């Protein structure tokens, strides 16, 4: 699989193509044009008509998924609604494969497979899928959904919709089980996992705290609703210089011993630690290579 950094995903509203253009060069790893909850029902058609050409407009900067600049994606409407079905049809009729689609309100692996089949029919072999886990049914079927198509590379944890459905608050503690289940599904399927955006754009300390908690649980990134959130998110999800240096020493010590276990600074180093350290170095290498 091509190297892809997925620390930050910035949503821009479908009607505001100007914001999409600006966001592409604002430091986010991914920028996602939103046709779903960021667009009121009366403006859905206008947003779709504007956003689809913008998604492919190479003059806007960024990339389709590799190289420097942000990767592009589009959140369509839920595929079991008329808006969502028309979004899919419009994308298929456009004639160019979208780099990535973000699918909200998915409830089962069949929902994902249906989208994948439409993409197959359109000959869009390169289109990647990201799936939002934000319904009770999706949470129950999270691992099956995560494994539903080889096109999926990322899950998103949709805390806003999920908490509304569960009747819970949006607090970190209230959604701990649900986040844990999403981590389990994404990691078992080998996918990246992006946390819900923080809604208070003025609260950088709160954003950093939530991002750190998510990172410690196994999330690989966090979504954003404003460009000012990108730098703190990228920072939290990038291995620090100290982590990189420790990782190098751990791997060196492990590789130098032929017993399958080493001792470093009084601590035992076994394979699981080495795997975690290799993962941190792989992310650091991608950052250093400037890929996204
Ligand atoms: C994202 O879509 C959410 O509902 O949190
Ligand atoms: Mg949602």
Three state DSSP letters for the chain = CCCCCCCEEEEEECCCHHHHHHHCCCCCCEEEEECCCCCCHHHHHHHHHHHHHHHHCHHHCCECCCCCCCEEEEECCCCCCHHHHHHHHHHHHHCCCCCEEEECCCCCHHHHHHHHHHHHHCCCCCCEEEEEECCHHHHHCHHHHHCCCCCEEEEEECHHHHHHHHCCCCCCHHHHHHHHHHHHHHHHCCCEEEECCCCCCCCHHHHHHHHHHHHHHCCCEEEECCHHHHHHHHHHCCCCHHHHHHHHHHHHHHHHCCCCCEEECCEEECHHHHHHHHHHHHHHHHHHHCCC
83 shares its domain with 228:
yes
pLDDT of amino acid 1: 41
95 shares its domain with 140:
yes
Instruction: For residues 140 and 73, give the distance between their C-alpha atoms in angstroms, rounded to a whole number.
Output: 26
126 shares its domain with 245:
no
- Asked if residue 123 is part of any domain, the answer here is yes
Q: Which atom of ligand 1 is nearest to the CA of 36?
A: 2
Instruction: For residues 95 and 147, give the distance between their C-alpha atoms in angstroms, rounded to a whole number.
Output: 27
Record the pTM: 0.93
Instruction: Please give the backbone phi and psi of residue 85, each rounded to the nearest 5 degrees, phi first.
Output: -60, -40
- Asked if residue 3 is part of any domain, the answer here is no
pLDDT tens-digit map of 127-146: 999 999 999 999 999 999 99
Q: What is the per-residue burial (b if ≥16 Cβ within 10 Å, else e) of 44-54?
A: beebbebbbeb
pLDDT of amino acid 3: 52
pLDDT of amino acid 286: 87
232 shares its domain with 248:
no
Q: From 10, 139, 158, give the residue whose CB has the most ligand 1 atoms within 8 Å, as the site to mutate.
A: 158
- Asked if residue 208 is part of any domain, the answer here is yes
- Asked if residue 173 is part of any domain, the answer here is yes
**Of the residues 218, 236, 254, the one at which a domain ends:** 236
153 shares its domain with 208:
yes
- Asked if residue 1 is part of any domain, the answer here is no
pLDDT of amino acid 73: 97
Angle between helices 241-256 and 271-289 (to 10 degrees): 130
102 shares its domain with 205:
yes
pLDDT tens-digit map of 64-79: 543 457 999 999 999 9
Pocket lining: 29 vs ligand 1, CB cutoff 6 Å: no
Nearest in space to 210 (alpha carbons), one of 192, 187, 194: 194
Pocket lining: 221 vs ligand 1, CB cutoff 6 Å: no
232 shares its domain with 256:
no
Pocket lining: 158 vs ligand 1, CB cutoff 6 Å: yes
Between the CA of 104 and the centroid of ligand 2 the distance, in Å, is 6
Between the CA of 11 and the centroid of ligand 2 the distance, in Å, is 12
Pocket lining: 161 vs ligand 1, CB cutoff 6 Å: yes
- Asked if residue 25 is part of any domain, the answer here is yes
170 shares its domain with 274:
no
197 shares its domain with 245:
no
Q: CA-CA distances (angstroms) from residue 277 to 58, 83, 156, 247, 270?
A: 37, 44, 24, 5, 11
259 shares its domain with 142:
no
Between the CA of 24 and the centroid of ligand 1 the distance, in Å, is 21
- Number of structural domains, the chain? 2
pLDDT tens-digit map of 216-241: 999 999 999 999 999 999 999 999 99
Q: Which atom of ligand 1 is nearest to the CA of 164?
A: 4
Pocket lining: 130 vs ligand 1, CB cutoff 6 Å: no
53 shares its domain with 197:
yes
> How many CB atoms are closer than 10 A to CB 139?
22
Between the CA of 158 and the centroid of ligand 1 the distance, in Å, is 4
CATH number of 59's domain: 3.20.20.60
193 shares its domain with 274:
no
Q: Which domain holds residue 247?
A: 241-289
Mean pLDDT of 17-41: 95
């Amino acid at each position: 699989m091509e190297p892809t950094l997925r620390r930050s995903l910035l949503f821009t509203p479908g009607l505001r193509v100007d914001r999409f253009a600006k966001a592409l060069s604002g430091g986010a790893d991914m920028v996602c044009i939103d046709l779903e909850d960021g667009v009121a029902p009366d403006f859905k058609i206008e947003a779709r008509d504007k956003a689809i050409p913008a998604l492919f407009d190479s003059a806007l900067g960024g990339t389709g998924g590799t190289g420097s600049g942000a990767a592009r994606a589009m959140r369509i409407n839920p595929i079991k609604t008329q808006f969502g079905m028309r979004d899919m049809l419009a994308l298929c009729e456009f004639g160019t494969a979208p780099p990535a689609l973000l699918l909200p309100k998915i409830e089962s692996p069949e929902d994902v497979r249906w989208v994948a089949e439409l993409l197959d029919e359109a000959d869009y072999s390169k289109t990647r899928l990201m799936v939002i886990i934000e319904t009770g049914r999706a949470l129950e079927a999270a691992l099956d959904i995560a494994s539903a198509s080889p096109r999926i590379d990322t899950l998103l944890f949709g805390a806003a919709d999920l908490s509304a459905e569960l009747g819970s608050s949006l607090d970190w503690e209230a959604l701990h089980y649900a986040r844990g289940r999403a981590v389990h599904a994404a990691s078992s399927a080998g996918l990246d996992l992006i946390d819900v955006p923080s809604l208070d754009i003025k609260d950088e300390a709160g954003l950093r705290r939530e991002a750190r908690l998510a990172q410690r649980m196994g999330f690989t990134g966090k979504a954003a609703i404003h460009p000012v959130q990108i730098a703190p998110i990228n920072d939290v999800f990038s291995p620090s210089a100290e982590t990189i240096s420790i990782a190098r020493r751990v791997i060196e010590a492990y590789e130098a011993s032929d017993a399958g276990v080493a001792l470093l600074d009084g601590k035992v180093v076994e394979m699981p630690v080495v795997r975690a350290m290799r993962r941190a170095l792989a992310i650091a290498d991608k950052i250093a290579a400037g890929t996204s």
